[in-house]
Chain A
Amino acid sequence: MNFDPRYSGRSFTSVGTRPIRPDGVDKVTGRARYGADFNMAGQLVGRVLRSPHAHAKIRKIDTSKAEKLAGVKAVITAADLPDLTDGDAAMYDILDNCMARTKALYDGHAVAAVAAVDARTAKQALKLIEVDYEVLPHVTDVDEAMKHTAPLLNDAIFTEGLEEKPVKPSNVTKRTQFGHGDIHEGFGQADFVVERSFKTEQTHQGYIEPHACVANVSSDGTADLWVCTQGHFVYRQHCAQLLGMEASKLRVTSSEIGGGFGGKTHVWAEPVALALSRKAGRPVKLVMTRDEVFRASGPTSATSIDVRIGARKDGTITAAEATLRYSCGPYAGMWAEIGAMTAFACYKLENVKTVGYEVLVNRPKTAAYRAPSAPMAAFAVESAVDELAKEIGMDPVDFRIRNAAQEGTRSSYGPVYGPIGIGPTLEAVKSHPHMKAPLGKNQGRGMACGFWFNFGGQTCTDLNIGMDGSVSLAVGTVDVGGSRASLSLVAAEELGIAYEHVKAVVADTSSLGYNDMTDGSRGTFSSSMATISAARNAIKILRERAAQTWDIPVEDVVWEKGHAIAKGEKYGNLAALSLREIAAASGKTGGPIAGHSELVADGAGVSFATHICDIEVDPETGSTRVLRYTVVQDAGKAVHPTYVEGQYQGGAAQGIGWALNEEYIYGKDGRLQNSGFLDYRIPVCSDLPMIDTQILEIPNPNHPYGVRGVGETSIVPPLAAIANAVSNAVGVRMTHIPMSPPRILAALEAER
C-alpha cells in the first residue's frame, strides 16, 4: 500500500460544509427502496415458525400437513440447513440461531419456515406444522444464570479463562480480565472508597425497519439477495458458508437501511429465505414482523456490575475495580469482555482491575448495539465516580478532569493512548453555559463521560470519472446515516471539484471488492480513507493524461484545485487543463479514467464524549422529564458537521430511552411480554428537549483529514448522566436501569 494515511494538517474547501445528501430527495418523496420495498416476479411469501418456549428440546417436527396445504411451495426445518460450518463455532451459533437444531433456546427461536403464494396461506401453513417440544427449565436473569443451581443451556460449555479448567459445565462461557498495577495497594492508599452494585436491563436497537429480504436461488446454483443490512459483504460470506455456496455466486445488494445500530451486523432470516427459495425454486420475500424483531433479533446484554473506586483526599483516584456480568443470550459472546475493557477507559489509573463474565441465558442472541457493552459499564463507573467526588467534596467535573486520561496514559484496557479528547471534552463542559444555568425545585443536573474504541477495517472503493467530468463513487460500506454525502465531499475535496459533480452509491457485492460492515463507527472513517486513496490514484492518471497531451514529463505536472498544471517557467504557455477537459479527451488518451483503492483502514482513533443533562423528577410519582441535554464529543474532523451532530443527538436519545424506560420484560414463563413499540418504550418526540451539541476536533493522526469515528460514543454517557442528575434532583442513587417511574418511586419511598 503506497497510500500514506497520516494526518497532514491541510485546509479544506468541501470537507466541513453541509450540503444536501445525494439520496435525500428519494427519501423525502417515498421513492427510496428499503428492505421490504423490493419485489420479484413470481415471488413467494416466507414466514417463520418460532418457539413459544424459553427452553425446550425439539423431539420431532411434522411438516406433512403444512406441505399438503394448497399454495405452500416449501417448508423447511434445520434439516434443510445442514451444518456446513466445519468446526467454526461462531458460525455454528449463527446457524443454530437462524434455525433451532436440537433445542429451542429462547422464546422466539426459529424452528421451521414456509414459503407460500401469499401471506394468508403462509400463516395458515405455520399453524399446520406440529412441533413436539419437551419443555425444559429456563433462566433469563444474568445473576440467576450464574448460580450452580441454574438450568444449563449447553452442557458442553466449560468456563474459559479460569486458572484451572472447571470440572462441571456452566452457563458462564468465559472469564476475562484487564488492568494493571496492584489494586490492593491502591485501595490501601485511598481516603475514600465507594463501592456499589448496579443492574441494567436488556434493550433493543429499536430500528424502525424490521429485517427484510428477497432471496432468489437459481437452479444453476447462483443466487441474488436483496436485503437491509449493515454489511452486505459479511452477509454474503455468512449466507454462502451456511448454504454451501461459493461467495461469488451469491450477489447481495444492500437496500436502503432503516436503522441498524449494530442489529443488522449478522444474519437472522436471510439464510432461511435463501433455503426456502432453493427448495421452492422461486424467489422468496421474508419480512419480520415487529414482534419477531423484538423476540428474535437484536438485543443488547442485560448486566450486573460491581464497582469499587478509591481516591485520596486530594481527588486522585488510587484504585478502581469492576466485576461485570453480561448476558449473551444462548450463545457465547464477548460482551462482558468489551465492557471490562471500556469501563475505566476515561481515566488515568495506576491500579485498575476489571473482570468480565459472559453468561448464557434463555433470551435472544445478543447482538452489537452502538458502542456495545460500553454504556452499561459507563453507567456503573460514572455513577460511582460522581458519588466519590461528592464524598470527597469535589466538583464532579473537576474530579474527572483531575483523573482524566491523556496522551501517554496507559489505558485501563492496556495500550498507551496517543492524542485523545477526554480532557478537552471535560474542559468544554466546565465552561459550557449549560453548567451555570439555574435549576428549579426537584430539578437536578448530571454529567458523565464515555469512551469507545472506533474501528477501521477492510475497505474498497471505486472512483470512476465520466467523459463529462462528473464522478461516480462506488463504496462498499452501507450508508446508515448520510455517509454518501460525507464521502462525496471527500472525493470532491481530493479531486478539487464541486460536491455536486460527485455521485456516491453503495455497490453490490459483485461490483466491488470485499468490505467489512458499517460497524464500530467505521463507515466514514474507513471509506473516506479509501476514497482519498482512490482519488489520488485517479489524479495520478489525470496527470499522466495531461502530460501526454502536453507531451511533457509527468513529473512536471501537478494537480491543483481540479486542474492539471504544468509546473515551471518553461511551460508558461500551457494553460491549465481541467478535470473536465482531461475527461472529455480520455477516449483518445488511453481510455476511461478511474481510481481504485483496496486497503485496510486501521488506526481509527479512540473517541470520548462528555454529556450534561438536567432532569426534573416528580417526587409523588417518580416521573422524570429531561429538561436540557448537551453533548460534547471529539470528532477528529467533522466531514459533514450536520450529520455528525445528528449522530451525537441520535446516540444521546437512544441513551435517554435506555436510561429511563426501555427494557425487555420477561414473565415467569420465560416469554417476552413487551414485543412491540407500545410497551417497549422508545423515546417519542414529546419526551425530549432539543439536544445541543458541541463538536471538538482533535485530529486523528492516522487519517489524512484527521477523521475519527463519531457514530457510537454518544450512547455511552447518557445512562450515567441521567442517573447522576436524578441523584442530584431528589437525593436517591439509582442503581437499576431503566430508571422507570416505579423504580424511582420505590427508591424515594425507601429513603423516606
Chain B
Amino acid sequence: MVEVTLWGSLGAIAGGKSKVEIEAKDIRELFRKLAEQYPGLEPLIEKGIAVAIDGTIYRDTWSKELPQGAEIFLLPRLAGG
C-alpha cells in the first residue's frame, strides 16, 4: 500500500481528496487502479501525468517501482522549451 498525494486540481476530480491509498507496485499499476477507483482521472492519465517518487519526477517510466514508504506525488505533465 502506498500513499499518493494528488495536486490541487487532481484532488478535486478524486472527490476532493488530496491523498489516496493505493495498493500498487509500480506506476503502471498505480495508474490502472487510480482509473478504476476514480474514473474521472482516466482522461487525465491518458493525457499524461507525471509521478514524483521521493522528489524525482518520472514522466514515462511506467515500469518504475514504487518503494514502500516512498513519497508518491502526482503532478501535471509539463511542457519545456
Contacts and interface: CB of A to CB of B under 8 A. Distances in A.
Contacts of B81: 205, 260-263, 265, 368-372, 519-520, 711-712
A323 to B, nearest CB: 13
Interface in B46-77: 47, 52, 54-61, 63-64, 71, 73, 75-76
A265 B78 CA distance: 13
Contacts of A179: 8
A418 B69 CA distance: 15
A345 to B, nearest CB: 12
Interface string A587-611: 0000000000000101111000000
Interface residues of A, number: 51
Contacts of A174: 9
A718 interface: no
A455 B58 CA distance: 9
A605 B54 CA distance: 12
Contacts of A521: 80
A680 interface: no
A334 interface: yes
A454 B9 CA distance: 22
Q: Is the interface of A mostly helix, strand, loop or mixed?
A: loop
A727 interface: no
A440 interface: no
Contacts, number: 111
A338 interface: yes
B66 to A, nearest CB: 13
Contacts of A263: 81
A181 interface: no
A414 interface: yes
A454 B57 CA distance: 9
A458 B58 CA distance: 11
A418 B55 contact: yes
B7 interface: yes
Contacts of A416: 54-55, 71
A706 B41 CA distance: 35
Contact of A414 (B59, B64, B73): B73
Contacts of A519: 79-81
Interface in A480-537: 519-522
Contacts of A205: 81
A522 B61 contact: no
Given A262-B80, A414-B52, A600 B8 contact: no
Contacts of A160: 9
A722 B11 CA distance: 38
A602 B8 contact: no
B12 interface: yes
A285 to B, nearest CB: 27
A602 B64 contact: yes
Interface in A433-470: 453-458
19 contacts: A1-B63, A90-B47, A161-B8, A205-B81, A265-B80, A341-B76, A369-B81, A370-B81, A413-B75, A415-B55, A416-B54, A418-B54, A418-B55, A456-B59, A456-B60, A458-B60, A519-B79, A600-B60, A602-B60
The 8 A-B pairs of least Cβ separation, nearest first, read A520-B80, A262-B81, A177-B8, A415-B52, A370-B81, A519-B80, A415-B73, A602-B58
Interface of B: 5, 7-9, 12, 47, 52, 54-61, 63-64, 71, 73, 75-76, 78-81
Interface of A: 1, 90, 160-161, 163, 174-179, 205, 260-263, 265, 334, 337-338, 341, 368-372, 411, 413-418, 453-458, 519-522, 600, 602-605, 702, 711-712
